[in-house]
Amino acid sequence: MGAMSQPPPLIALCARTLTFSDEGKRDAFTSSQPYSRAVARAGGVPVLVPPIRQLARNALTVLQHFDGVLLPGGGDVDPRRYGQEPDDDTLYGIVPDHDDLDIAVALAAIELDLPMLALCRGMQVLNVALGGTLVQDIGNSDHWMREHSVRLTDGCRIAEAVGTTHLEHCHSVHHQGLGDVADALVPCGWADDGQLEAVELPSATWIVGAQWHPEDTAPHKPQQQALYDELVRRAAARAAGEQLRA
């Protein structure tokens, strides 16, 4: 028999809690479908990691079963996580279990040097986990359900993944942004209005953050799908014991 092919890489995807209001129905763990579909198109296997306290506490052990991480969007991070008092007029969707899991997974991925794509809230979580802060509300709706372009730093990891420094069709759904950028992160992408849209972690092999949702336009925009392709490519290389350049 010939040599067995390498199995597809497993990508950890932080799940969310879905609460049913109808009597008699069970609560569920869930994830928006476009994330998983984009990972699958790239050849990876998305596996949901539910926001359960025991998993958050043991995130380092949990992630040892995976080859890459997708840190997805969602509701707002509790401002107390970055040393601020909440502005209740602008915040939404704060769930302590989500914050616990996402921050723990981000830190564990960094420690294990797993390839990680941190999107929207995920980029904000990455910044908070490393000591940065957020702007609780950017004060306009210019990035809420809008497509725009992003100008990327030449040679940054995202630019190399998508093959351009001027990326079109970036679909944003965020009312917050990064405030103080964590010392460990380097800004590498901006919208035309100056809003910070991308960061990377130079000390890691491949950990990047994008403030937009590439999965939303990825089905018909190959340059957006390319971010997921690169995540899975690097995860597969890591699983095979190969060394890719940063």
Catalytic residues: 120, 213, 215
Q: Which long-range contacts (CB under 8 A, 24 or more apart) does 122-125 make?
A: 122/14, 122/70, 122/71, 122/72, 122/73, 122/209, 123/71, 123/178, 123/198, 123/199, 123/209, 123/210, 123/211, 124/77, 124/176, 124/177, 124/178, 124/211, 125/71, 125/77, 125/99
Residues near 33 by beta carbon (within 8 Å), at least 6 away in sequence: none
If we measure between CA atoms, which residue out of 94, 83, 75 comes closest to residue 131?
Answer: 83
Residue-level length of the chain? 246
Residue 200 CA from chain centroid, whole number? 12
Query: CA-CA distance, 56 to 151, in Å (whole number)?
Result: 35
Q: Is the dihedral of CA 11, 17, 20, 26 positive or negative?
A: positive
Query: CA-CA distance, 40 to 56, in Å (whole number)?
Result: 25
List the structure tokens of 237. Answer: 């290389």
